[in-house]
Structure 1
Amino acid sequence: MRYDVVIIGASAGGLTAAMAAKKFYPDKSVLVIKKEKVGMIPCGIPYIFGTLKSVDDDILPVEKFLEPLGVDILVDEVTEIDPTKNVVRTKSGKEIAWEKLVLATGSRPAKPDFPGVDLDGIYTVPKDYEYLKKLRERVKEAEKIVIVGGGFIALEVGDEIRKLGKDVTLVVRSRLLRSSFDPEFSEMIERKLKEVGINVVYGQVERFLGDGKVEKVRLLDGSEIPADLVILSTGYRPNVDLAVKAGLKVTRYGIWTDEYMRTSHPDIFAVGDCVEHRDFFTGKPYPLMLASTATFEARIAGANLFKLQIVRENRRTIGAYSTHVAGLTLAAAGMTEETAKKEGFEVIVGRASGPDRHPAKFPDTSMVTVKLIFSRDRGAILGAQIAGGKSVGEMINILALAIQKRLTASELYTLQIATHPLLTASPVGYQILKAAEDALAKLRT
């Protein structure tokens, strides 16, 4: 069996890589190999516990996207990549030759080695259909649920479970969403969580207690939290075993790639959670696992498989995030003020708040708060954070582009925008422009 392009993995990165490959090279044969028969939409997983009626409502319809394009799909597990012969071997005994190979092997949940972690009733949040079906049933049966972690998945899962009337406690080591937001935004979401009845406890887990099944979570300070069920949301690890066995260059953060997503083997590409990402401003490697990043990388890889058609000016990655928890939308892109200062940047911060409709009497109006971080030397934007209603979800994309193009406070202040009473903030008080104005005034002093 031989294909021009073989893609291992069929989540956001693998799916997008296959679509891009067919778009740019329609005459090439493409095969996607996926380990699981049923795949999940990664970002939708938290919502299977509340908003969605079943796990089936979050299935990723890979066949629907790929079969009309003429992409073949094989449900099997790749056990070996032979880069000298350009073949992959599978668990079922198949050997498949390829001209170009794309690794989109994703990530798996980290499981801290706390004493008692193997007790019944302790779960992670993987992208595994059958596992998630069992977890959803256990959530329905439990009353007291403890979630360990303070990141996006922990907050989203916790907020969905509390909608079922459950007693939800978040155990957080430092502060909520620490890597993406400055303290004032962490405090904002904490207030919202407490308003809707979620308990937020600061501390570090020492061990899990129970007779065969988890009953309590003990923290290092000696306090104990009753638990019928524990969900660990303490990060994810890149799936790099195949790459390591194939002799590809792999770091502690994932598979090394160049600016065109090529690995250390010229005919093997890698995208998504399994890849090492490097910060847009510092070039330092850092953990970043986002479906939006995976699809961005997959489009680059798919377009450039056989010749360089899309030029990447900068290999580095902007972390752009958004979430909606307890009625509050939070979004961020680039560096936080805290991180920028730690990296040695002298910064100026611009702030603005106001309603996202005009007049503010419209029933779906929400207050939006924008924080922009600029470098003092030339006023270039380094980062952005926004809190408010659902309009925030697209506002952050404007600012992610501004960061990518290295716009200045002056350029953002003079941004030409479209507004409408039912759709946006007033042109007089559009928060991005007002925050840029605030920073620009400080830069002039």
Structure 2
Amino acid sequence: MKYDVVVIGASAGGITTAISARKFYPDKSVLVIKREEVGMIPCGIPYIFGTLGGVDDDILPVEKFLKPLGVEILTDEVTEIDPRGKLVRTKSGKEIRWEKLVIATGSKPAKPDFPGGELEGVYTVPKDYHYLKELRERVEEAQRVVIVGGGFIALEVGDEIRKLGKDVTLIVRSRLLRSSFDPEFSEMVEERLKERGIKVVYGQVERLLGDGKVEKVRLVDGTELPADLVILSVGYRPNVELAVKAGLKVTRYGIWTDEYMRTSHPDIFAVGDCVEHRDFFTGKPYPLMLASTATFEARIAGANLFKLQIVRENRRTIGVYSTHIAGLTLAAAGLTEEAAKKEGFEVIVGYGKGPDRHPAKFPDTSMVTVKLIFSRDRGAILGAQIAGGKSVGEMINILALAIQKRLTASELYTLQIATHPLLTASPVGYQILQAAEDALAKLRT
């Protein structure tokens, strides 16, 4: 078999690459190879425990996206990439030739190596249908659930399990959502979680205890927490094994790519969690793993497979996040104030706060807090953080574009906006403009 384009992986990055390839090169044949018969929507996984009815409500409809476009799908596992022969070999014994290859193999959960990790009742949160089915059943049977981690997945899973009436404890080494938010936002979400009955314990796990099955979590300070089930949510690692075996350039952060997502082999591209990302401001590599980032990279790769059609001016990546935990929506883009200062930026911070409807008597009104971080030298925006209701989920996209285009506080202050009583904050008190105004006043002192 031979195809013009072969994509390894069928999650957000792989699917989007195939779609883009077909739309930009309709005369090219495209094959997507997926390892799992049933794929999951990664960002929806935490909600299988509460909001959704179960694992089957979070299935990724790969065929629905790809088959109408004429993309072929093969369920098999790629075991080897041969760059010289331009072919891949699969577990079932197939050899498939390609003109262009895209690696979209994603990531897998990191698993700490402290003692007791092999006990029954200890789980991670992978993107694996059958594994998650089992985990969902074990959660139903458990009463005391301990989650190790303070990131997005840990908090989202904990909040969803709490909805089942379970006793949930989070073990956090530092503070909640530290890499994406400054302390005041961490405090907001911690307060909200505690109001909902979730315990937050600060410390480091020494070992898991139990006779065959996990019964307790012991911390370094000697504290022991009873547990019927332990979920380890301490991050993910890029799936780079195929790339390493193929001799491609790989760093500790993932597969190296240029600004058009080409690897060290000119006809092999890579996108998504398996790729090394570089910070928009500093250029330093960092472990960013987001479906939104994967699809952005996939569109770049898909459009530029055979010729450069979409020019990418800056190959660096802006981390743009949003989550909804215990009724509170949190979103962030770019650098935190802490991170900006650590990198040596002299910063000015502006705040805006107010209801996201006007008048605030509408039943779905929520208070929104916006924090914007600007460089003092020219007033360029470096980062943004927002907390409030669901309107926050789109507000952060405005600020991500502002960061990408390097807008200043003055330009944000004069941003022209549409408002409506049922949909947005008042034009008099629009929080992004408030925060820009607050920063401008400080810049002029």
1:328-355 deviation digits (Å, cap 9, x = unpaired): 0000000000000000000000001000
Give the Cα–Cα distance (whole angstroms) in 2 for the partners of residues 327 and 69 of structure 1: 39
Look up the match of 1:384.
Answer: 384
Look up the match of 2:96.
Answer: 96
- Whether 2:321 is the aligned partner of 1:321: answer yes
Number of equivalenced pairs: 445
Look up the match of 1:215.
Answer: 215
Matches within 5 A, 1:299-338: 299-338=299-338
Look up the match of 2:192.
Answer: 192
Structure 1 unaligned spans of 5+: none
Instruction: Quote how far apart the aligned CAs of 1:440 are.
Output: 0.5
Look up the match of 1:203.
Answer: 203
- Whether 2:245 is the aligned partner of 1:259: answer no
Matches within 5 A, 1:366-377: 366-377=366-377
Look up the match of 1:281.
Answer: 281
Matches within 5 A, 1:352-431: 352-431=352-431
Q: Output the amino acid matched with 2:38.
A: V
1:139-174 deviation digits (Å, cap 9, x = unpaired): 000000000000000000000000000000000000
Q: Output the amino acid matched with 2:18.
A: A
Give the Cα–Cα distance (whole angstroms) in 2 for the partners of residues 286 and 417 of structure 1: 34
1:302-321 deviation digits (Å, cap 9, x = unpaired): 00000000000000000000
Taking only aligned residues, the RMSD between alpha carbons, in angstroms, comes to 0.3
Matches within 5 A, 1:99-178: 99-178=99-178
Look up the match of 1:56.
Answer: 56
Give the Cα–Cα distance (whole angstroms) in 2 for the partners of residues 65 and 337 of structure 1: 40
1:393-412 deviation digits (Å, cap 9, x = unpaired): 00000000000000000000
Give the Cα–Cα distance (whole angstroms) in 1 for the partners of residues 161 and 112 of structure 2: 22
Give the Cα–Cα distance (whole angstroms) in 2 for the partners of residues 234 and 441 of structure 1: 40
Instruction: Quote how far apart the aligned CAs of 1:54 are.
Output: 1.5
1:157-214 deviation digits (Å, cap 9, x = unpaired): 0000000000000000000000000000000000000000000000000000000000
Give the Cα–Cα distance (whole angstroms) in 1 for the partners of residues 66 and 352 of structure 2: 44
Look up the match of 1:37.
Answer: 37
Give the Cα–Cα distance (whole angstroms) in 1 for the partners of residues 111 and 380 of structure 2: 39
Look up the match of 1:243.
Answer: 243
User: Percent identity among equivalent residues?
Assistant: 89
Instruction: Classify the secondary structure of the residue corresponding to 2:79.
Output: strand
Q: Output the amino acid matched with 1:320.
A: V
Q: Output the amino acid matched with 2:304.
A: N
Structure 2 unaligned spans of 5+: none
Give the Cα–Cα distance (whole angstroms) in 2 for the partners of residues 175 and 365 of structure 1: 29
1:402-426 deviation digits (Å, cap 9, x = unpaired): 0000000000000000000000000
Give the Cα–Cα distance (whole angstroms) in 2 for the partners of residues 87 and 352 of structure 1: 55
Q: Output the amino acid matched with 1:316.
A: R
Instruction: Classify the secondary structure of the residue corresponding to 1:89.
Output: strand
Instruction: Quote how far apart the aligned CAs of 1:386 are.
Output: 0.1
Instruction: Classify the secondary structure of the residue corresponding to 1:323.
Output: strand
Look up the match of 1:12.
Answer: 12
Instruction: Classify the secondary structure of the residue corresponding to 2:400.
Output: helix
Instruction: Quote how far apart the aligned CAs of 1:222 are.
Output: 0.1
Q: Output the amino acid matched with 2:301.
A: A
Give the Cα–Cα distance (whole angstroms) in 1 for the partners of residues 10 and 256 of structure 2: 20
Instruction: Classify the secondary structure of the residue corresponding to 1:349.
Output: strand
Instruction: Quote how far apart the aligned CAs of 1:293 are.
Output: 0.2
Instruction: Classify the secondary structure of the residue corresponding to 1:23.
Output: helix
- Whether 2:243 is the aligned partner of 1:233: answer no
1:359-408 deviation digits (Å, cap 9, x = unpaired): 00000000000000000000000000000000000000000000000000
Give the Cα–Cα distance (whole angstroms) in 1 for the partners of residues 182 and 104 of structure 2: 32
Give the Cα–Cα distance (whole angstroms) in 2 for the partners of residues 265 and 271 of structure 1: 14
Give the Cα–Cα distance (whole angstroms) in 1 for the partners of residues 226 and 420 of structure 2: 50
Instruction: Classify the secondary structure of the residue corresponding to 1:85.
Output: coil
Instruction: Classify the secondary structure of the residue corresponding to 1:26.
Output: coil
Instruction: Classify the secondary structure of the residue corresponding to 1:146.
Output: strand
Q: TM-score, normalised by structure 2?
A: 1.00
Give the Cα–Cα distance (whole angstroms) in 2 for the partners of residues 56 and 269 of structure 1: 32
Q: TM-score, normalised by structure 1?
A: 1.00
1:267-298 deviation digits (Å, cap 9, x = unpaired): 00000000000000000000000000000000
Instruction: Classify the secondary structure of the residue corresponding to 2:135.
Output: helix
Instruction: Quote how far apart the aligned CAs of 1:27 are.
Output: 0.6
Instruction: Classify the secondary structure of the residue corresponding to 2:189.
Output: helix
Give the Cα–Cα distance (whole angstroms) in 1 for the partners of residues 2 and 54 of structure 2: 38
Give the Cα–Cα distance (whole angstroms) in 2 for the partners of residues 54 and 121 of structure 1: 19
Q: Output the amino acid matched with 1:349.
A: V
Look up the match of 1:292.
Answer: 292
